[in-house]
Amino acid sequence: MSAPETFAPRRDEPLFGRLAIIGIGLIGSSIAHAAKELNLARHIVLSDADPDVRRRARELDLGHEVAESALEAARDADHIVLCVPVGACGAVAEEIAPVLKAGAILSDVGSVKHAVVEAVSPHLPEGVHFVPAHPVAGTENSGPDAGFPSLFLNRWCILTPPPGTDEAAIARTRQFWEGMAAIVEVMGSQHHDLVLAITSHLPHLIAYNIVGTAEDLAAVTQSEVIKFSAGGFRDFTRIAASDPTMWRDVFLANKEAVLEMLGRFNEDLALLTRAIRYGDGETLHKHFTRTRAIRRGIVALGQEKAETEKLKKR
């Protein structure tokens, strides 16, 4: 009998012997699904600080084993992926450091990279390679039930290895993400944080703020906000439904880049405010025409939002 079709080629031989996934949310559970389906690791062990999440992971049969602690999961692992909020990466790295074996590759999935590099690097034993990663993919859902194997299909995954990182470790980490059908790019951690501040972090901050403003309006009831939501506001509510713990840590860890982008945004918003106040239609039209090209570029690159339901059925 031939193997069932998958969204990406299944490896004949696993890339890693033991893969440890620490944190079983949307990203962690999606990695587990994909790694198992595509034979990226011979043995997949998961762990989470929440016992209810560990129990659910066992019920879902996400990996081959669910460990009671991060330390237990990381023991003898060839590749360890931290899928915890960025603010917790340093503490988890310190916890698992005593059992990390020489040659192991430690990675993460956080959307802030420089702060994670600074928090994790001091705890790494000699011979352990650190290759931070950021899969630019997700939905508004979280938890072990939210994951699905094709989450990373045709999505960018940015690697930010510190200077001097072993090239073979970088190559294997690239293979791992490409094995899940992601498109891999390598850049410096500080440049990554600046890019993501404008493409991801600032939009989330704006979404949280707009939805909060709508809730606070005394003249508009919550039922009216829900009932008459237009497409734009619905998109904001989707973004604003993201994991609050994760995004709290993102803004605190990348505050310098976010504040810089927020300052630029406020300057541009002031120009638009002035144009509306004084009936300057030409300025508004020019601005909207220029920004329309960005949307067309996103669609052309195939980076429109993930069609989650369609992908889940694949």
Per-residue pLDDT of the chain (314 residues; tens, 9 = 90+): 444 568 899 999 999 999 999 999 999 999 999 999 999 999 999 999 999 999 999 999 999 999 999 999 999 999 999 999 999 999 999 999 999 999 999 999 999 999 999 999 999 999 999 999 999 998 888 899 999 999 999 999 999 999 999 999 999 999 999 999 999 999 999 999 999 998 888 988 988 888 887 777 756 666 676 666 666 777 777 778 888 888 899 999 999 999 999 999 999 999 999 999 999 999 999 988 888 887 777 777 666 654 434 334 33
Domain final residue pick, 136, 159, 187: 187
Q: Are residues 180 and 198 in the same domain?
A: no
Taking the C-alpha atoms of residue 137 and residue 27, their distance in angstroms, rounded to an integer, is 8
72 Cβ neighbours under 8 A, 6+ residues apart:
47
Task: Supply the CATH number for residue 105's domain.
Answer: 3.40.50.720
285 found inside a domain: no
Range of the domain at 268: 192-278
238 found inside a domain: yes
Taking the C-alpha atoms of residue 297 and residue 135, their distance in angstroms, rounded to an integer, is 20
286 found inside a domain: no
288 found inside a domain: no
Q: Are residues 70 and 152 in the same domain?
A: yes
303 found inside a domain: no
Dihedral pair phi/psi, residue 183, rounded to 5° = -105, 120
Q: Are residues 168 and 260 in the same domain?
A: no
Q: Are residues 23 and 167 in the same domain?
A: yes
Taking the C-alpha atoms of residue 106 and residue 70, their distance in angstroms, rounded to an integer, is 13
Q: Are residues 182 and 200 in the same domain?
A: no
pTM of the predicted structure, to 2 decimals: 0.83
311 found inside a domain: no
Task: Supply the CATH number for residue 271's domain.
Answer: 1.10.3660.10
Q: Are residues 156 and 241 in the same domain?
A: no
Taking the C-alpha atoms of residue 21 and residue 67, their distance in angstroms, rounded to an integer, is 10
55 found inside a domain: yes
Q: Are residues 115 and 234 in the same domain?
A: no
Q: Are residues 148 and 222 in the same domain?
A: no
Cβ contact 180:8 at 8 Å: yes
Q: Are residues 71 and 215 in the same domain?
A: no
Q: Are residues 129 and 265 in the same domain?
A: no
- Number of domains observed in the structure of the chain: 2
159 found inside a domain: yes
